[in-house]
Amino acid sequence: MSRVHQLAECATSCTRRRWYSPGVPDPELIDVRPDERIDTDRLAAWLRGRLPGTDRPLTIRQFGRGKANLTYLLRFGDGDDTVEYVLRRPPLGPVAPGSHDMAREYRVLSTLWKAFPYAARAYLFCDDEDVIGAPFFVMERKHGVVVQQVVPPEFGGGEDPVANRKLSEVVVDTLAEFHAVDPAEAGLDDLGRPDGFLERQVRGWTERWHRAKHEDNPLADDLAEWLAQTMPASPPATLLHNDWRLDNMAVDPRDPGRCVAVYDWDMATRGDPFADLGTVMAVWYGPGEMASELNPMPTLAPGFMSRVEAIERYGQKSGRDVSGAGWYVVFGTFKMAVVLQQIYIRWLRGQTQDERFAVLGDGAKHLLELAAQRRADET
């Protein structure tokens, strides 16, 4: 029996609000990749009557960014009366236990928006895999500019130090704002298991590496052992996103310093807030550090804060002592290596046909080397 969760009230105005005008190409969208297509008729039949506007003809496009969960735009009707929703489902092929959890992401987004307005509001969850081949949920669409790899022209194309500074600040400031959210106010005071969080994280990511590796890597084993032996004591727990970075956010096209959305909540939980800080600082590359393929932020653009400045700013905004942040940066870099390896092994085994993933095995090796370099800098 399919389990369906639906909010009693649905803010349809959220599905109509857009930054891009009807008829103007949306830079986030692509035609659905051939091996990632879903049955439009079957999905339309399941959605019909469950959300406002779903009695109209359905067209589906795909959000091109991202290398893990698959995200689609559902557009009902045409012109000014178009109603839009967003569908999220896991990636193709086997996934790591505890990851790409649509039920968890739905649960978080069905209530987090009340206390953290940058989180999209989730409306429906379906675990009947007969509908599209996997569990999925449907949420509102939030519009804004996603900055991925390079600063877009509307913010100066990387040549405007003021805009670049704002982009770096919004990443840190919004993270501190999120960590200040009262889990009870967000209806998530029972999410996850904060006690022993960091120990489970180190053990879990080490196990993921061993499940995903296609060859031995002594450096990975050495890093995992060091992380387990030097683990710091955690501060009081907060809500965690667990994949915080600039390309998982959207900003106002009129102001790069104003966040309008935060995406990708499938790993959200409660635990050590420095785990989020370490994740984003892992992809906050400095001079002489070669960026990986994992959607690097434009951290070397003029005006963009350095990693040291960003960590200090988080400490100021959050009121937390960040003197031990270096360990978390190494852990975050190790995690990013494992993420790339997990994606690469799906490609290597033929479980996805996306050729973007062919280079990620080398990317994982590079990130392990970078983690070791950052460990040496801290010790």
Domain segments of the chain as ranges: 4-139, 153-378
pLDDT above 90 (res 12):
no
Looking at the domain that runs over 4-139, which CATH code has it been given? Answer: 3.30.200.20
Identify the CA nearest to 338 among candidates 164, 207, 175, 226. 207
**pLDDT tens digit sequence for 301-353:** 999 999 999 999 999 999 999 999 999 999 999 999 999 999 899 888 888 77
CA-wise closest residue to 178 among 268, 294, 290, 86: 268
Query: What confidence tier does 92 reach under pLDDT thresholds 50, 70, 90?
Result: confident
Whether the predicted pLDDT of 236 surpasses 70: yes
Helix (H) or strand (E) holding 345: helix 325-348
pLDDT band of residue 295 (cuts 50, 70, 90) is: low
Q: What is the mean pLDDT of the chain?
A: 89
Supply the pLDDT for residue 48: 96
Looking at residue 27, what is its pLDDT? 67
Distance CA 277, CA 242 (A): 9
Comparing 102-111, 226-235, 294-303, the range with the smallest average pLDDT is 294-303
pLDDT at 110: 97
pLDDT score, position 30: 85
Instruction: Look at residue 100 in the predicted model and tell me its pLDDT.
Output: 62
**Which pLDDT does position 79 carry in this prediction?**
81
Q: What is the pLDDT of residue 93?
A: 61
- The CA distance from 105 to 264, in Å, is 8
Tokens of 176: 């501190």
| Mean pLDDT of the 41-47 span | 97
Confidence of residue 34 (pLDDT cuts 50, 70, 90): confident
Across the range 105-115, mean pLDDT stands at: 96
- The span from the CA of 305 to the CA of 154, in Å, is 20
Residue 118: predicted pLDDT: 98
Q: What is the pLDDT of residue 28?
A: 77
Q: For 4-16, what is the mean pLDDT? A: 37
Q: What is the pLDDT of residue 10?
A: 41
pLDDT at position 328, please? 98
Among candidate residues 140, 148, 101, the one with its CA nearest the CA of residue 15: 140
Question: In the prediction, which pLDDT does 1 show?
Answer: 37
pLDDT in tens, 257-280: 999 999 999 899 999 999 999 999
Taking only the tens place, the pLDDT of each residue in 203-222 is 999 999 999 998 999 999 99
Under CATH, which number does the domain 153-378 receive? Answer: 3.90.1200.10
Residues 6+ apart with CB under 8 A from 121: 7, 11, 14, 109, 110, 113, 139, 140
Report, as an integer, the average pLDDT of 109-117. Answer: 97
Give me the mean pLDDT over the 142-159 stretch. 94
CA distance 55 to 52: 8
- pLDDT confidence tier of residue 20, bands split at 50, 70 and 90: very low
Q: Cα(309)–Cα(334) distance, rounded to whole angstroms?
A: 22
Most confident of 98-102, 346-350, 365-369: 365-369
Predicted pLDDT at 272: 98
> Please, which pLDDT band fits residue 290 given cuts at 50, 70 and 90?
confident
